Structure formats: structure tokens, C-alpha cells
Structure 1
């Protein structure tokens, strides 16, 4: 649909006519600076009024085009519905000292657990189009690194900048859940989902996992817990190579209890592939229902009459010179 955003701008169309009706003496009173005419000093004597009529017509068309551009012509397309659905996901990542364990493999190389989490979570974050993401980092205590936001690149950047033992060496799982509860309390329309990744057991913090679980239940927050770490790895020593369990400190019972009590689920990430499968399962979380919004694509068209006014103005400015050259050629 074609329309003018500022239709009232057409009220300026008769201004040149009104100014023309003012006597010349009074016109001089309004002028703060007298500008000599373009044709002063140029003798133009055609003996005809044809040129003046053409100049008047060009000036009139240029003024109409300029006022039309000022009225902001635009084209409005058909209404398009925008799905205003999305998840609100808070990610809590463990940065305790045990995350240094190099029992994971990425692209054929042995890496520590945090590097693997960053590698897999990068794709998970970028797939969250339309979702609000937040990031909590925890060790001795929990810190909100990124509040809930649609800016996925910022969340990914802050996760990539995180380093092990940034906030201590121990594991405050209860504090991480409690901080997520506090942040979700500010979101009334949130579906309140927390994804917590850890490789150990609660060894620090101001509140216990049991207390944090009760808070999450009372605020209707769904907690999905992910235990990170391989079941076995080869360890070299002076006495040869032996097989050990690098995840023996992982408190799976506690993580399972938190997830089940809050309506979530516990996952076990033993390698890169299993963590990718976990994220694929998390993709199936139900989005929160919000009011559907509509928008109409808008295309501005003011530059067409503006360009026409510019071209006509240039033609009007060149008319005296073209007339003079024409006369010289005839003589």
C-alpha cells in the first residue's frame, strides 16, 4: 500500500505563489541577505517569452517534487506475523580446578574438559535464534557473566574468555543454582530453564545444593544437569601405564536428584559426541508462549522525487547558459 508519512507537508505547495503575491518592496524587508540573480550580467534577449515559460514550468515541477519528497512517500507491504516465541536459558559452567583434567578429545587432540565444553557449546549457542541466553560461571562462588540477552555472540565471547580457576578452585553448585533463581525472578514471562554443567561435587558456596533445589522448585525453575568427564583414561607413571577413573568425584546422585525434583533431566557427557547429543535433546525444550507480533515491511521512496527535484534544479540553473550559447551560435 502506497502512502505519505507526512501528508501535511503538501501544505507548503502554495508558498511560492503566496510569496509571489507579496509586493517587491515588502519582499526586500524579509530578506536578510540579497542574493544577485543567476542571470545578472548575462544579456539574454530572445524577443520571446518561451524560455521564461519553460523555466517557470521546470521550477514548478522541481518544487512539487521537493515537497513530495518532504512528505516521505513510502510503500507498506502486507502484514507479516513474527513468532515471538523463544526459550529463556541460563547456562551455568563449572570453572573449578578439576576441569583441567585432559580426558576429552576434540578434532583428534587431547584437551581439558572446559575446552571441550566451549567447542560443543559454540554451535549450541549459535542455534539459539530467538532465544534469550544467560551465562553463569562458578567455582568457589557463582558470578553472573552475562544476563539474559538475545545477543548470542556476546554470550559466546564471554564463554570463550573464561579460564579455569578464574573464580577459585572449588565447586559451588548450590550458589550457581541460587544465582539463576534470583535472575529468573526478574522474568515474569520466562519458562525458567537452567542448564548446569559440572564435573564434581559441591565443595563450597553459601547455600547447599539441597537448599538451592528447594528454591528452584518454589520458583518453578527446570534444572537440566550435565555431568562432564570420561569414565576411564590411561595414566602414565614410573611404573608404567594404568587405567584410572577421572570422574570418581562426580556426584551423580546429587545431580540426578536436582534434575528430577525440578522436572528436568540428568545427562552424562563422557565425550564430545555425547555432549553434542545432549544439546540436541535440549533443543526440544518447549518454547515459552508470548503474544504474536506483526510487522509491515516498509520501503522508503522519498529519494525518487528528491532525485527528480535535483535534476530539474540543475536543468534550471543551466538554462541561461544554454540560451546564451544558442544565441551565439545563431549569430
Structure 2
């Protein structure tokens, strides 16, 4: 591989440097040809002045402007050192439930009360940062499903879109698991990746949408997409039920674990149960092992365009010449 340094993107354009000489040699009559020019009278005076346009300094200036224009057209650039860019050949869609039930605070975040979605943002965000070489996408679903982030190698942007998600953004009253899966499959359909996978996170059961989880699972099998499912929510939570006092409830009573297990089993994935923040973090660490990040890497070389420097200099010289020719300094009267 070539070392870093200066080169031209279109070096063959440098062959245009002697073009003015070739044109003049082949068509000498052009030297006396008439051209329509603005400020013609001023140009005519200059042609008849004591300092003709054949002044070597002016000719040298014209050649310098031409040289700079040709250099700019050849697109000079600085090519940097090769940078390793891992590629896993995997496309991974994150399908996250943002229905109203994700507002429950049964999964504390670092010991402080937080919603299930806030815990997901923390844990899944760290997971996204580790997915070097994967193309990641994000689908949010509630009563509806929509694409929050398309498949991209830009992990920072995907994590930012996740952090900006809010409860009820896709409808708060019901949960369309099947539609969430279908939206992710739609964007994986034309993917050229060698391996395609989906991570589905929910705390409820499918009770809305056009497709059932069973129908979406059939589509995932047809598309050979592996689906990992995660059910979130604690098994027990103490609530203050005034005026009857505190009582224990099951905040995950609506979680349809059987459906999530069936989805994972049918597509070659696995089902996981996250009852607290630590368990959720361990699940995503296990997913790192099941779907390992890239080890092979392609080398890319950063390039910095430099064409605008000779172009700007040519423009400045041309402007200066134009101003000097049209408005030369007046000689003092004798």
C-alpha cells in the first residue's frame, strides 16, 4: 500500500498544461482575432499603450494563473495513514418497546428510581458502543411502529436517537410487537449482509397492530433473520395503595413470555429475562458472545481535498490583474 502523502486524484489533467502553446502554434491567426469584451475601449487603449500586452511579466502572470487552474482541476489532495475499519458483515436491528408500561419504575438505575425505558437507554447504549463493525438500526414501537434510525455504521448517532426516544412516542395504550418486528424486517429485507439479526425488547403482550407475532416470526424465518427476545420487568414490586397501605404486586403480569420464547426458538435465537439492571446488562454481554463483534478489518485512508487553494490563488491573481489593467495608477501631471 502506498505511503501517505500528497498526490492528485486526476493526474492526467496535468497534460493540459501546454494546451495554450499548442493552440497558438496550430492557429496563429487567433493572435489577431477580434473578441467582444466589456470595457472594449479601455482594452483598446491598453493595446496601443506604451506597455503592450506582450510584457513578459504579464505573460508570466497569465501562465501562472493557467498553471493554478490546471492544478486545481487535477484535484490535489493529502492522503493520510491507513485507518483500520472493522466490518463484521452483520446488520443488527434493535426493536424497542416504548409503550406506556415502559414507564414503570421497577428496574432502578444505579440504585435510583428510573423507568424501564431509562434503564434500557443506559444498558442498550453501552451495547451499541461495543458493536464495532456492525450496521445498527433502531425501531420503536407502541401502538404503532416506526423507524427511529436506519441501518448505519454510525454508532454514536444510533445511540443518540435511542437516548431521544420517549414513552408513548409511538402510542402509549397498546403494544404492537408484530408490527415492530415487521418494520425491522422491512429494512433488513434488501440487506446484503452475510448475517442479519434482531433484538426485540418488550415488557408486555401483543394487543395491537396489523401483524401478529406469529406472522412476523414466519416472515423472519423466511428472511433467515435471527431474533433474540428480551422480556423486561421485575417479578415483584411494593406499591403504596392508599388507604390500604403498601402491598406487593407483579409488575410483569402482562409480559407474554411464551410468545417471546416461541419467536426466539423459531428463528434460531434465544429468549432472555431481565428482572433488574444487572440482569439486563449481563444479557447484552451474552449477546456480545452470541453475535461477536468484528475481528477482521478493512483499511481506509482519510483524504483531505486541497484543490481550493490553487483555485483561490488563481482567482485572486486574475482579479488583481483585471483591476490593474482597468484602473492603472495615474501619472502626476508635469
- Whether these two folds match at TM > 0.5 is yes
> Paired residue for 2:42?
36
> Paired residue for 1:196?
200
**Deviation string for 1:64-97 (max 9, x for gaps)?**
5335435425357599585544431222222333
Q: Mean alpha-carbon deviation: is it higher for 258-267 or for 119-128?
A: 119-128
Is the Cα contact below 8 Å between 1:114 and 1:164 reproduced in 2?
no
> Paired residue for 1:279?
284
**What is the Cα-based RMSD across aligned positions, in Å?**
4.5
TM value normalised by structure 2: 0.71
> Paired residue for 1:65?
67
Does the residue aligned with 2:234 lie in a helix, a strand or coil? coil
Unaligned runs of 5+ in 2: 1-5
- Structure 1 distance, partners of 2:12, 2:132, is 33
- Structure 2 distance, partners of 1:70, 1:270, is 62
> Paired residue for 1:6?
13
**Deviation string for 1:29-57 (max 9, x for gaps)?**
x23332536996xx979xxxxxx865256
Alignment length, in residue pairs? 319
TM value normalised by structure 1: 0.72
The 1:38/1:105 distance shift into structure 2, 3 A limit, reads farther
Does the residue aligned with 1:157 lie in a helix, a strand or coil? helix
Is the Cα contact below 8 Å between 2:231 and 2:273 reproduced in 1?
yes
**Deviation string for 1:180-220 (max 9, x for gaps)?**
33443333436221111111233444444334333322321
1:132 aligned to which of 119, 135, 138: 135
The 1:54/1:212 distance shift into structure 2, 3 A limit, reads closer
Unaligned runs of 5+ in 1: 46-51, 326-331
- Structure 2 distance, partners of 1:297, 1:137, is 35
> Paired residue for 1:227?
231
Is the Cα contact below 8 Å between 1:230 and 1:245 reproduced in 2?
yes
- Structure 2 distance, partners of 1:278, 1:248, is 21
- Structure 1 distance, partners of 2:185, 2:220, is 6
> Paired residue for 1:236?
240
Is the Cα contact below 8 Å between 1:233 and 1:245 reproduced in 2?
yes
Does the residue aligned with 1:220 lie in a helix, a strand or coil? coil
